[in-house]
Chains A and B, each alone.
Chain A
Amino acid sequence: MKLRIERAAAPFWMRPLIPILAAITTFILTAALVVMAKANPLEAYYHFLIAPLSSRVSAIEVLVKSTPLLLTGVAVTFAFSAGYFNIGAEGQLYAGAIAAAWLGVILEGLSPLLAIPVMLIGGFVAGMAWALTPALLKVKVAVDEVVTTLLLNSVMLFVVSYLLNGPWRDPVSGWPQSPEISASATFIKLLPRARLHLGFIIGLLAIIALWFVLSRTTFGLKMRATGLGKEAARFAGINVNRTIILAALISGGIAGLAGVGEVAGIHFHLIDAISPGYGYTGIIIAMLGGLNPFGVGIAALFIGLLTTGAQSVSRALGVPAYLGDVVQASLLLVTLGAFILQNYRIRWIHSNALSPPTTGGLSERETNSGA
């Protein structure tokens, strides 16, 4: 008896089960770590997945955590759809945050009805500006955008560090944080006694906009054509370079909005830890969501849940909060692996059984032909 791996798509009913199977597999894989941290795995997973949703405060916190992830997930999906691998959402997010911290101060006294749109536009433009150089290098001199966008993230951290330790350092406390933004530039709260802010609505709108652009507009078709077959798109008369630059800029702009939301909705000033890697998590969300707008939305909410759950596990069971990161990372690896493995199936081949007629006939003839 022999094992053979064949290429064959999973049956359609199995597809929705794949993320669930992946989650179960992940929890089995990470159970050993939970036991080593001297906790009961089942109890830990209850706190991971169920507990955050069982109280109003933590359920809202899940949405708060998802807010920047919705936007960075959309940002990355936008660029990836056009075949432009923007790894720089993190830096573009900070560019938006810088713009928001600056505009939030100078817009003091303006009506919020004016101040907030200006903040959003400013953050969008800042994100676009930070995304412009890699896009131009890609199109004009074929420099790989993965490298340039990634490296610009580090550059951005130094820019932020310079601002916070130099011109923007808080004059009163001396802390490395920018002055607080004015009340008129602050995002409105969606619910009483909770941190959930306007950014969440913007995130949901971004998902809908992403869906509309990709599947309903001509530009979206040009983007997809460019991403799926650049040479054929060029042959058909699509201005591939223009499409790539536009996709890269819009992607940067949306990532910039995530930065605006964190400044105007959560922190109210710029600090260097404004993002614990939301830009990078956006890549993961885009992949988990299969570059599908609604998949991206669900993935962002799920990662928001896991992030909140990690804190809950840590509080309730005294295990390190890092365990949450380990579970999150394992889940991503398993899910991505499952997406690939669904294209294969394993078959038992009985050595005494007859081979399938087509291949059998061929190999039979081929061995004979040598004689």
Chain B
Amino acid sequence: MLAVQMRGITKRFGSLLANDQVDFALEKGEIHALLGENGAGKTTLMRILYGLYRYDEGEILVDEQLVHITSPKEAIQLGIGMVAQHFTLVPPFTVAENVVLGYNDRLRFEPSVAQKQVAEAAARFGIETNPAALVSHLSVGERQRVEILKALYRNARVLILDEPTAVLIPQEVDVLFETLERLRRAGLSVIFISHKLNEVMTVSDRITVLRLGRVVGTVAKASTTQAELARMMVGHEAFGVQRPGQRQQGEAQLRIENLSAFDRQGLPTLKQVSLEVRAGEILGIAGVSGNGQAELSHVLAGTLMPTQGRVIVSDQDLTGASPTRFLAASVGRIPEERQEGVIQELSVSENLALENLDDFTRNGVLDRRRVRKHAESMIAEYQIKASPMDPMRTLSGGNVQKVILARVLSSKPRVIIASQPTRGLDVGATEYVRNKLLEQRDQGAAVLLISEDLDEVLALSDRVAVIYEGRIVGVLPAPEVSREQLGMMMAGALEGDVREITD
């Protein structure tokens, strides 16, 4: 008996094929994991099932009936509930108010009645929560339970959880898994989106692996291994770009020792990371997003204060230094979010000058001719499709990235921190940016490449470090690394035993 069946689902976003003829079947009373890298199409598929996206081709059956789901409201009526990565709770409201909100359509709202109903529902599903508590007082794990309860209160028989463990601490993960197990025994079906192999192997009955929008296969947990799943997840494609030849490498230009940092919520996210990048090499950091890469790049940009450890750039201690000092120490930074790097309402020429304003200043007055000339030569050299006085906001993503690249590289940095340098770019711009980074490496720069794109890391790097849950779980020379190994490490299944012995 199938709870949900999706047949031949295809979804395009412009030219991007997010789901390509995807078949997916969920049995009643099973926990089914959707496994895949970032951008594999897991969330898209589930957003289609929940009525948040329309699909271009295919059909959906719920309880073996053909259905047309065009909104979450219709999905809820069909007994489908979804807990998104970002919660949709109203923090100043109580748990009970949040659970009934939008479902109880009566004019009168009686808090005590709602609390009683919610308490009953919670008891029925074995979910521990206090209906009278304010959501703003709850921990992340407790909030997630409220979200689950919200779906169950709406009579969900199919529960979709989008990377539910990404926001949880280990103890909360255990509680979540107990809850899911209890729901399964109560006859519910659960879809569990994840990219962590150990979790998938712990909690699910069957696993469907997606890669680049297509189904690689569906396997039963009992008949598979973490290694097989990792292989399915990362695939076997040849690398897109020729791997650069090994080169003479110089001194360590960037040294990171025991570096730890908190994220914006004040949670420890980067944990005791130690790395070294030498002149003339690219060290790639591979990892699934949200494993501390953003914090690492922010610390190395001078915009985040580390809680522990040291950052040394060519014998200069830059721990917790300002962006100005990183720039003075010849560190070029390509930010993860392009909008962090440029100011939309300023002109291209102003944005190009922003990091080295002193070079364009005479007695406090801006030398506008030099700013303009600099912009003109950068535009010519980096093939930016814009004129110097254009506001930045009129540029395409690829051209914005070229402006940032021009600004960073024109000061001939000895160390380059490149975070997701090609994210969202088209093929041409991607190739351009990658070649520029290789060119810098060949000219002797030390490049730290942080990327979620495994192909990119493998194509450009001399060495690859894998980050998982804020720690470096291994550093490998790129020629010796296999995709399976990387996949296992990125998913937290393999740790420590392949650590490279430096020097």
Contacts and interface: CB of A to CB of B under 8 A. Distances in A.
Contacts of B333: 235
Interface in A354-371: 365-366, 369-371
Nearest to A371: B68
Contacts of B364: 217-219
Interface stretch (A20-28, A62-70, A224-232): A224-232
Contacts of A229: 339, 342-346
Nearest to B350: A221
B56 interface: yes
B184 interface: no
Interface stretch (A126-134, A236-244, A276-284, A317-325): A236-244
Nearest to A219: B364
Contacts of B56: 365, 369
A216 B340 CA distance: 25
Contact of B343 (A219, A233, A370, A371): A233
Contact of B357 (A221, A234, A370): A221
B324 interface: yes
B213 to A, nearest CB: 17
A274 B468 CA distance: 65
Nearest to A212: B365
Contacts of B57: 369
Contacts, number: 81
Interface in B161-179: none
A218 B303 contact: no
Contact of A220 (B302, B354, B366): B366
A218 B355 contact: no
A218 B346 contact: no
A236 B54 contact: no
Contacts of B340: 231-232, 235
Contacts of B324: 237, 239
Given A369-B56, A369-B57, A371-B68, A221 B345 contact: no
A210 to B, nearest CB: 15
Interface in B301-315: 301-303
A118 to B, nearest CB: 25
A232 B355 CA distance: 10
A364 to B, nearest CB: 12
A239 B366 CA distance: 17
A148 B436 CA distance: 49
A169 interface: no
Nearest to B55: A369
A222 interface: yes
A255 B344 CA distance: 30
6 contacts: A216-B366, A218-B357, A218-B366, A221-B346, A221-B366, A239-B324
Given A229-B345, A239-B324, A369-B56, 14 more contacts: A224-B346, A225-B350, A232-B341, A233-B354, A235-B333, A235-B341, A236-B323, A236-B355, A237-B323, A237-B327, A237-B354, A238-B357, A370-B54, A371-B68
List 5 tightest A-B contacts by C-beta distance, closest first.
Answer: A229-B343, A236-B354, A370-B68, A237-B324, A237-B323
